[in-house]
């Protein structure tokens, strides 16, 4: 039998994606000012950014990055265990641990990298990792690469999570969940999951990418919003590319577990450490998150305004009270048509299709930000009212 050529396989796979209207294309953002972006030569109002608190271009954050880069240079020069662990990294780790009440924090290059690092270093063959079916891909990939048995329970089904933990009594167990689910915008039942984990001797691990900075007292995220802390949620991951407006991720937990990740996790040990200047910028973001509660108040007001308007228009929104507002449209073509119609009206909203979401659940993932005004939200609602109508002429997608 002749060996298959990779180029033939890739061509067939692309043709199959094209037939399902599942091709991806990158849009070139030429400039950004708050929620307004210049894309492919045209200015659009973006409702697909994760910069929920508007800190990505905040002058204090940018100034901190520039000053640190001027003093320390661009890169970290090496992996954390060799020469890359900088004073800026250490200061940010200390501030994050103090803010959230955890014994230790560890800065990693990205949320995806961090989840691979945590699960591969703490789990091994003979262990089990129980996860919500709608967890982010990096949690799923981390469990698969660890060699542990991966069990996935139906979305938000606490009883199913309990049954899956009970079905495997040997080895170690991690119960892993998103705090806020990135495509549905709903929150995990953390208090109930904490009880399940404690009863079954499992470690609860929460990735709070979309909750930190936005939810809970002082913006301390989904765990604090649920009235929980380090005792109930021993491992907490906080990616910094959303409300913090930057890059990287912070793992928080007990000294022994976080120390083990720092000493053994291949994605951490064999990656160049994040830029010291980015750590300085994230310290500035942390100060703003802690000191400017008005940002969360404004964001909550915009979310409520959007949901009231969408309900009045009869739009098929998912049940979400976070900045992530999914508009379920079903088929890929329908989602692409509505996104294209919105773009014609000056709004940039991403059409999310499988495999990011299940088959038949293509949607618009609308995200709100402090950078939006009430008039921006009202304008989007008016545009949606027109865009969701069946097109009178073919739409180029």
Residue 356, annotated as binding a ligand: yes
Residue 85, annotated as binding a ligand: no
Residue 76, annotated as binding a ligand: no
SS3 assignment for the chain: CCCCCHHHHHHHHHHHHHHCCCCCCCCCEEEEECCEEEECCEEEEECCCCCCCCCCCCHHHHHHHHHHHHHHCCCCCCCHHHHHCCHHHHHHHHHHHHHHCCCEEEEECCHHHHHHHHHHHHCCCCCEEEEECCCCHHHHHHHHHHCCEEEEECCCCHHHHHHHHHCCCCCCEEEEEECECCCCCCECCHHHHHHHHHHHCCEEEEECCCCCCCCCHHHCHHHHHCCCCCCCCCEEEEECCCCCCCCCEEEEECHHHHHHHHHHCHHHHCCCCCCHHHHHHHHHHHHHHHHCCHHHHHHHHHHHHHHHHHHHHCCCECCCCCCEEEEEEECHHHHHHHHHHHHHCCEECEEECCCCCCCCCEEEEEECCCCCCHHHHHHHHHHHHHHCCCCCCCCCC
Residue 72, annotated as binding a ligand: no
Residue 112, annotated as binding a ligand: yes
Residue 182, annotated as binding a ligand: yes
Residue 219, annotated as binding a ligand: no
Q: Name the binding residues for pyridoxal 5'-phosphate.
A: 111-112, 182, 210
Q: Name the binding residues.
A: 24, 111-112, 136, 182, 210, 356
Q: Name the binding residues for substrate.
A: 24, 136, 356
């Amino acid at each position: 039998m002749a060996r298959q050529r990779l180029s033939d396989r890739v061509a067939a796979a692309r043709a199959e994606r094209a037939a399902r209207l599942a091709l991806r294309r990158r849009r070139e953002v030429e400039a950004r000012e708050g929620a307004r972006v210049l894309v492919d030569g045209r200015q659009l109002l973006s409702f697909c950014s994760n910069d929920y608190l508007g800190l990505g271009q905040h002058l204090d954050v940018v100034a901190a990055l520039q000053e640190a880069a001027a003093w320390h240079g661009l890169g970290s020069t090496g992996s954390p265990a060799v020469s890359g662990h900088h004073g800026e990294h250490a200061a940010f780790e200390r501030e994050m641990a103090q803010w959230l009440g955890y014994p230790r924090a560890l800065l990693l290059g990205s949320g995806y990298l961090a989840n691979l690092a945590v699960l591969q270093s703490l789990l091994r063959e003979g262990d089990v990792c129980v996860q919500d079916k709608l967890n982010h891909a990096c949690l799923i990939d981390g469990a698969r690469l660890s060699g542990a048995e991966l069990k996935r329970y139906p979305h938000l089904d606490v009883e199913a999570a309990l049954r899956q933990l009970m079905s495997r009594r040997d080895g170690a167990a991690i119960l892993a969940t998103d705090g806020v689910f990135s495509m549905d915008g709903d929150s995990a039942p953390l208090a109930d999951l904490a009880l399940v984990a404690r009863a079954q001797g499992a470690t609860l691990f929460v990735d709070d990418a979309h909750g930190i900075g936005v939810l809970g007292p002082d913006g301390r995220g989904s765990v604090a919003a649920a009235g929980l802390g380090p005792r109930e949620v021993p491992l907490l991951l906080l990616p910094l590319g959303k409300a913090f407006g930057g890059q990287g991720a912070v793992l928080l937990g007990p000294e022994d577990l976080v120390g083990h990740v720092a000493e053994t996790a291949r994605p951490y040990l064999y990656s160049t450490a994040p830029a010291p200047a980015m750590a300085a910028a994230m310290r500035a973001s942390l100060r703003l998150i802690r000191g400017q509660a008005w940002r969360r108040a404004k964001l909550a007001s915009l979310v409520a305004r959007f949901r009231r308007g969408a309900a009045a228009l009869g739009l098929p929104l998912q049940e979400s009270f976070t900045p992530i507002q999914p508009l379920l449209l079903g088929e890929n073509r329908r989602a692409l048509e509505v996104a294209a119609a919105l773009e014609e009206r000056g709004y940039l909203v991403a059409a999310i299709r499988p495999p990011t979401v299940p088959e038949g659940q293509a949607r618009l993932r609308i995200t709100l930000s402090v950078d939006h005004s009430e008039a921006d939200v009202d304008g989007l609602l008016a545009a949606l009212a027109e865009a969701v109508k069946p097109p009178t002429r073919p739409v180029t997608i």
